[in-house]
């Protein structure tokens, strides 16, 4: 009886300390974002010597209005363009990758593992490796400075990880039902969309969240593919506001917040799928 | 009876099934061949040419001799060190720091109320576009707008109360630490997930035996997390090698003061898209060097992923090799 | 199976058609009359608003309608060469730095403007940067002057200071500024992406090396590692950097301009556009670096334009080029403030008063093009980042100069 009584205060102190440390770190982690948020809501004159100087303090939405309706690169347009690019760039590779992943999971053919490995290895390829030829290819077929060109590029680029992710997912599904369907004479496609597809929906959700965020957050491909200002996606707008010559921190902060609202919002709503996708992609489905 | 059965399950598939099965791969194959494999092959070929004449490894030699890649004065005089060294520095500093911080946080957060909220805070840096992270880091370490110099000034370290953007050493290490801040969300989340896979009775049994927390960590947690660690290490290495947006967002196309924060990916971008006229061949050579490194790194992890399941990496690798040899 | 293939094809087609249509409608040119000319320039925001009246004037007088698209020059530098190689051009008339125009004129992608515009309607030397092989490949529009160090007249009066006329007076001025309470450093080093440091460095070169040294460095006939260049840096710039006369590099517009205006850093080397960035431009005084050699230069960075070979409307484009070269067009532009004309015959009364003063500073000095804009490419990136390095550590002068030289 003496043991627990003696240990109780010890545990409490320890728990308190652990909580203090954890929450302290968590909040400290937010400071850079906090700084940007504070700058975004205040006139530049007040924060130019440090956003933590709170007098005078005149909160305003002017910076958001300035970024949203900016004449260099309005974020209203940037976010619309980002959506126009990101939505098809999510669903095309999802479909394409879901099929190919199934093929790699279930079909045997000579050299399959080597083909699969070479596809998966593409995840390691830096974007810079394809930049120049892609640029010339897109130019020659008239898809440079077109959303369609960027969409196709993102779609191709998303396939490797989606194939890996979906293939690992399919392999966790029991193969017997599919076999039974085949024995009953169902075609491969019928087997796939009657039996496999319904079970794969949670995995699809994970793919959608991750791929959408990946495309939304991309900067390099958009930078080389989209030249004219009226095609700029949100991430491009962030740098175009900073201009060739200036760094207007007030507009930049507001633009940064507007740009990250979509992926952060998506993360908050679909956190479960995001984490599951992230872990499945890296550890195992 | 016998014939259709063979057609379905045996190696000799009916033409119809074969056609159906190839259709599963077709769209992916077209997209990948056209927009990934073809450009990669073109870039590799480009890297061996200068204009239209074959120069072998000439472009690679020229790049390695460029002080922007390897700065001989950097060894004695401090940064700028050159892109190759910078990418390496990123690995040497960023990798252990983000790994360690993520592990400590994951272990710490195991027994904390509201851990998922704290994790979300930390994970914010992973969800935010990297170009925004770059702008944000530049903003955070620049004086007088940023809080990092002011913070060091207020705790009595005037040598760090400078404009971090304007000096090579502070810029380089400021951005490395900043990228640790942004990337730690990844290792925290993956380690947290890894911890949940360790059966609770392992810990309980150890505690009953009177093992210290340190003992439990070194004898149980750390060894069982090894496969997870391998994944994080690989992904972090790839991330550190591909670094681009953060540097461009925080500085400029030159990699900041004296090119102190310059990296390979940015160097490639300059050759291809800033140089007048463009130097596509040198750009290709830089890209190929980068590809060589990332492929080496990825080779380790992906071979394991191919075999599917392998909690113990070394045994799995042996297994994978023997299986493949047997085929 | 058929159903599924149809479904896949349908989704692919629908998603692509939707995007394609969106793109198509977004890129449709406005319905207009027969004659049209398309222009691409770097200006956005206020600068664009100040430029469009010139385009309107052109449309009114010629009946040719126009479209103007904003695209950053660094993005155009990527896309244009490839579009030219494919026989395309995004516009009929494009504003780009002279280095770009000259480079691609040499590859046959630029229409000669000889006969359309000529030096006779310009100030002397205005077309030098776009003339090659005795042909004119581009035109000069208006530009901006980088005259010297700005100060607040009221601040100088309050502390009994006067603009210097010799180098030793300049160093004395810096010393006395350091003694004033509230002054952190005498001169603010504007920064951001790197260019304000290059502007002030060019001013040192044009003053103490003269116009000829500036021109020789621009033409790459003089090496940055040459003793004369090295000595200039070592004699004038480096000692002031080491003496703490310069602030740490600070983002040039905000907070830079504010810290200059409130006296934390009382001297600011900046282009003429600073007059539009302070609350009371009439309180601004400006002096160029004092002393120096006989034939000094002053940097005047003009905007240049050209007509690409693959322009869809070459006739209209040439008419527009001739118009941009005219005093009429440039008068309209300088009236908006912040710009100085390259065309001859623009009346001094057309300028807002501050700009008129700046335009006056040009007299008696050789007009020089901006050095790093003229060379362009990766030289510019290197030049900027190496000067940032020099500001951070002036003892690295030798390696800074040799790295800059290696990038030429």
pLDDT, tens digit, for every residue of A30-70? 999 999 999 999 988 888 788 898 888 889 999 999 999 88
Q: Mean pLDDT throughout A103-132?
A: 92
pLDDT at C77 over 90: no
Quote the CA–CA distance of C40 and C55 in Å, as a whole number.
12
DSSP B49: E
DSSP A257: H
| Angstroms from C36 CA to nearest CA on chain A | 19
As a whole number of Å, the end-to-end CA separation of chain A is: 46
| Angstroms from A193 CA to nearest CA on chain C | 8
Contact C389 B20 (CB under 8 A): no
B179 vs A113, residue with greater confidence: B179
pLDDT value, residue C361: 76
Are A281 and A161 contacting, i.e. CB atoms less than 8 angstroms apart?
Answer: yes
CA contacts within 13 A on the Cβ side of B275: 16
Q: Is A49 part of the contact surface with chain C (CB cutoff 8 Å)?
A: yes
pLDDT at B100 over 50: yes
Q: Give me the percent of chain A exceeding a pLDDT of 90.
A: 55
Q: Is B171 part of the contact surface with chain A (CB cutoff 8 Å)?
A: no
Structural domains of chain C in order of their starting residue, each with its CATH number: 31-145+301-361 (3.40.190.10), 148-287+376-407 (3.40.190.10)
Contact C86 A140 (CB under 8 A): yes
ipTM of the complex: 0.90
pLDDT, tens digit, for every residue of C303-335? 999 999 999 999 999 999 999 999 999 999 999
Label residue A159 by pLDDT band (50, 70, 90): very high
Contact B257 C193 (CB under 8 A): no
- CB nearest to A113's CB, from B31, B283, B306: B306
Sign of CA dihedral C363, C365, C369, C370: negative
Q: Mean pLDDT throughout A122-135?
A: 94
Instruction: Give the 3-state secondary structure of chain C.
Output: CHHHHHHHHHHHHHHHHHHHHHHHHHHCCCCCCCCEEEEEECCCHHHHHHHHHHHHHHHHHHCCEEEEEECCHHHHHHHHHHHHHCCCCCCCEEECCHHHHHHHHCCCCECCCECCECHHHECCCCCHHHEECCEECCEEEEEEEECEEEEEHHHHHHCCCCCCCCHHHHHHHHHHHHCCCCCCCCEEEEECCCHHHHHHHHHHHHHHHHHHHHHHHHCCCCCCCCHHHHHHHHHHHHHHHHCCCEEEEEEHHHHHHHHHHCCCCCEEEECHHHHHCCCCHHHEEEECCCCCCCCCEEEEEEEEEECECCCCCHHHHHHHHHHHCCHHHHHHHHHCCCCECCECCCCHHHCCHHHHHHHHHCCCCEEECCHHHHHCHHHHHHHHHHHHHHHHCHHHHHHHHHHHHHHC
- CB nearest to C392's CB, from B27, B257, B274: B257
pLDDT, tens digit, for every residue of B144-190? 888 999 999 999 998 899 999 999 999 999 999 999 999 999 999 99
Strands (E), chain B: 49-50, 53-54
| Angstroms from B147 CA to nearest CA on chain C | 15
According to DSSP, the β-strands at C135-136 and C139-146 are: unpaired
Label residue B136 by pLDDT band (50, 70, 90): very high
Segment 165-204 of chain B within 8 Å of chain C by CB: 165-168
Looking at every residue in chain C, the average pLDDT score rounds to: 87
pLDDT at C5 over 70: no
Are C408 and C381 contacting, i.e. CB atoms less than 8 angstroms apart?
Answer: no
Quote the CA–CA distance of C66 and C132 in Å, as a whole number.
29
Segment 173-192 of chain A within 8 Å of chain C by CB: 187-190, 192
**Residue A171 three-state SS:** coil
Quote the CA–CA distance of A36 and A32 in Å, as a whole number.
6
pTM of the model: 0.87
Closest chain A residue to the Cα of C6, Cα to Cα? A189
Are A147 and C23 contacting, i.e. CB atoms less than 8 angstroms apart?
Answer: yes
pLDDT at B315 over 50: no
Structural domains of chain B in order of their starting residue, each with its CATH number: 87-326 (1.10.3720.10)
Query: Could you tell me the strand order of the sheet in which C148-152 lies?
Result: C246-251, C187-191, C267-270, C148-152, C284-287
Q: Which residues of B touch A192 (CB under 8 A)?
A: 24
Closest chain B residue to the Cα of A278, Cα to Cα? B190
Closest chain B residue to the Cα of A282, Cα to Cα? B231
Closest chain B residue to the Cα of C12, Cα to Cα? B27
Are C336 and C50 contacting, i.e. CB atoms less than 8 angstroms apart?
Answer: yes
Fold classification of A65-282 (topology level):
MetI-like fold (1.10.3720)
Token readout for B307 is: 């075999």
């Amino acid at each position: 009886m003496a043991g627990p009584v003696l240990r109780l205060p010890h545990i409490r102190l320890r728990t308190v300390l652990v909580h203090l440390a954890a929450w302290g770190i968590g909040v400290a982690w937010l400071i850079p974002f906090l700084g940007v948020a504070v700058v975004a809501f205040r006139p530049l004159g007040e924060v130019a010597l440090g956003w933590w100087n709170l007098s005078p303090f005149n909160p305003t939405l002017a910076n958001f209005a300035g970024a949203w309706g900016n004449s260099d690169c309005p974020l209203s347009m940037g976010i619309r363009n980002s959506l126009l690019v990101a939505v098809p760039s999510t669903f095309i590779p999802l479909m394409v990758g879901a099929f190919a992943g199934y093929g790699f999971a279930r079909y045997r053919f000579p050299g399959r593992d080597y083909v699969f490995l070479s596809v998966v290895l593409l995840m390691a390829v830096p974007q810079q490796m394809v930049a120049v030829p892609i640029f010339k290819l897109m130019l020659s077929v008239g898809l440079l400075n077109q959303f369609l060109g960027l969409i196709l590029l993102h779609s191709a680029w998303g396939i490797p990880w989606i194939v890996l992710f979906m293939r690992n997912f399919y392999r966790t599904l029991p193969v017997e039902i599919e076999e039974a369907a085949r024995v009953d004479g169902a075609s491969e496609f019928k087997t796939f969309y009657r039996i496999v597809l319904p079970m794969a929906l949670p995995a699809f959700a994970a793919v959608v969240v991750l791929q959408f965020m990946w495309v939304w957050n991309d900067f390099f491909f958009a930078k080389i593919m989209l030249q004219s200002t009226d095609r700029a996606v949100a991430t491009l707008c962030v740098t175009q506001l900073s201009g060739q010559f200036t760094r207007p921190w007030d507009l930049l902060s507001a633009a940064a917040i507007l740009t990250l609202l979509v992926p952060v919002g998506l993360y908050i709503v679909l956190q479960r799928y995001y984490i599951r996708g992230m872990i499945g992609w890296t550890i195992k489905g | 009876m016998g014939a259709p059965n063979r057609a379905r399950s045996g190696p000799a598939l009916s033409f119809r099934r074969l056609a159906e099965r190839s259709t599963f791969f077709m769209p992916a194959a077209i997209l990948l061949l056209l927009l990934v494999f073809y450009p990669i092959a073109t870039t590799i070929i480009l890297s061996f040419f200068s204009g239209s004449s074959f120069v072998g490894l000439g472009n690679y030699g020229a790049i390695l001799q460029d002080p922007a890649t390897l700065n001989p004065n950097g060894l004695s005089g401090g940064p700028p060190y050159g892109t190759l060294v910078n990418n390496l520095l990123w690995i040497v500093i960023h990798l252990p720091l983000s790994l360690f911080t993520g592990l400590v946080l994951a272990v710490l957060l195991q027994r904390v109320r509201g851990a998922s909220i704290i994790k979300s805070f930390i994970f914010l840096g992973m969800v935010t576009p990297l170009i925004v992270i770059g702008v944000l880091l530049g903003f955070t370490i620049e004086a007088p707008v940023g809080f990092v110099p002011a913070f060091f000034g207020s705790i009595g370290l005037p040598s760090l109360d400078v404009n971090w953007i304007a000096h090579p050493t502070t810029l380089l290490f400021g951005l490395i630490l900043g990228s640790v801040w942004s990337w730690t969300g990844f290792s925290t989340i993956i380690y947290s997930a890894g911890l949940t896979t360790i059966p609770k009775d392992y810990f309980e049994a150890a505690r009953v035996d009177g093992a210290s927390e340190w003992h439990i960590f070194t004898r149980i947690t750390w060894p069982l997390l090894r496969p997870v660690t391998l994944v994080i290490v690989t992904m972090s290495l790839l991330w550190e090698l591909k670094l681009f947006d953060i540097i461009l967002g925080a500085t400029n196309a030159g990699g900041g003061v004296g090119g102190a924060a310059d990296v390979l990916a940015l160097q490639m971008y300059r050759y291809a898209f800033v140089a007048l006229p463009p130097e596509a061949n040198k750009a290709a050579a830089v890209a190929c060097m980068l590809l060589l490194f990332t492929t080496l790194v990825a080779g380790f992890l992906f071979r394991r992923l191919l075999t599917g399941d392998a909690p113990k990496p070394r045994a799995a690798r042996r297994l994978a090799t023997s299986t493949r040899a047997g085929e | 199976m058929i159903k599924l293939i149809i479904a896949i094809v349908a989704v692919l087609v629908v998603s692509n058609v939707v995007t394609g249509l969106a793109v198509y409608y977004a890129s449709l040119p406005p319905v207009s009359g027969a004659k049209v000319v398309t222009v691409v320039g770097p200006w956005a925001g206020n600068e664009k608003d100040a430029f469009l009246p010139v385009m309107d004037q052109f449309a009114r007088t010629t009946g040719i309608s126009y479209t103007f698209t904003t695209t950053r020059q660094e993005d155009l530098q990527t896309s244009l060469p490839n579009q030219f190689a494919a026989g395309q051009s995004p516009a009929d008339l494009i504003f780009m730095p002279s280095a770009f125009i000259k480079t691609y004129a040499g590859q046959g992608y630029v229409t000669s403007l000889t006969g359309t515009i000529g030096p006779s309607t310009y100030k002397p030397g205005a077309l030098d940067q776009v003339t090659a092989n005795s042909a004119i490949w581009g035109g000069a529009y208006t530009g901006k002057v980088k005259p010297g160090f700005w100060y607040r007249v009221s601040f100088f009066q309050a502390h009994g200071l006067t603009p210097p006329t010799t180098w030793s007076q300049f160093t004395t001025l810096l010393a006395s500024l350091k003694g004033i309470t509230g002054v952190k450093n005498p001169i603010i080093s504007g920064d951001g992406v790197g260019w304000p440091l290059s502007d002030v460095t060019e001013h040192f070169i044009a003053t103490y090396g003269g116009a000829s040294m500036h021109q020789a460095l621009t033409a790459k006939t003089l090496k940055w590692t040459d003793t004369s260049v090295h000595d200039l840096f070592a004699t004038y710039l480096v000692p002031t950097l080491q003496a703490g006369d310069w602030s740490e590099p600070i983002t040039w517009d905000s907070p830079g301009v504010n810290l200059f205006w409130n006296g934390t850093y009382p001297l600011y080397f900046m282009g003429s556009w600073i007059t539009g960035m302070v609350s009371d431009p009439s309180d601004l005084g400006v002096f160029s670096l004092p002393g120096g050699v006989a034939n000094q230069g002053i940097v005047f960075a003009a905007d240049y334009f050209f007509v690409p070979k693959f322009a869809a409307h070459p006739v209209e484009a040439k008419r527009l080029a001739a118009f941009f070269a005219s005093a009429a067009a440039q008068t309209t532009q300088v009236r908006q403030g912040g710009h100085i004309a390259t065309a001859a015959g623009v009346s001094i009364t057309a300028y807002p008063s501050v700009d008129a003063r700046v335009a006056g500073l040009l007299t008696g000095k050789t007009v020089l093009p901006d050095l790093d804009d003229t060379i362009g490419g990766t030289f510019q990136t290197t030049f900027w980042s190496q000067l940032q390095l020099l500001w951070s550590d002036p003892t690295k002068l030798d390696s800074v100069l040799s790295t800059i030289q290696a990038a030429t």
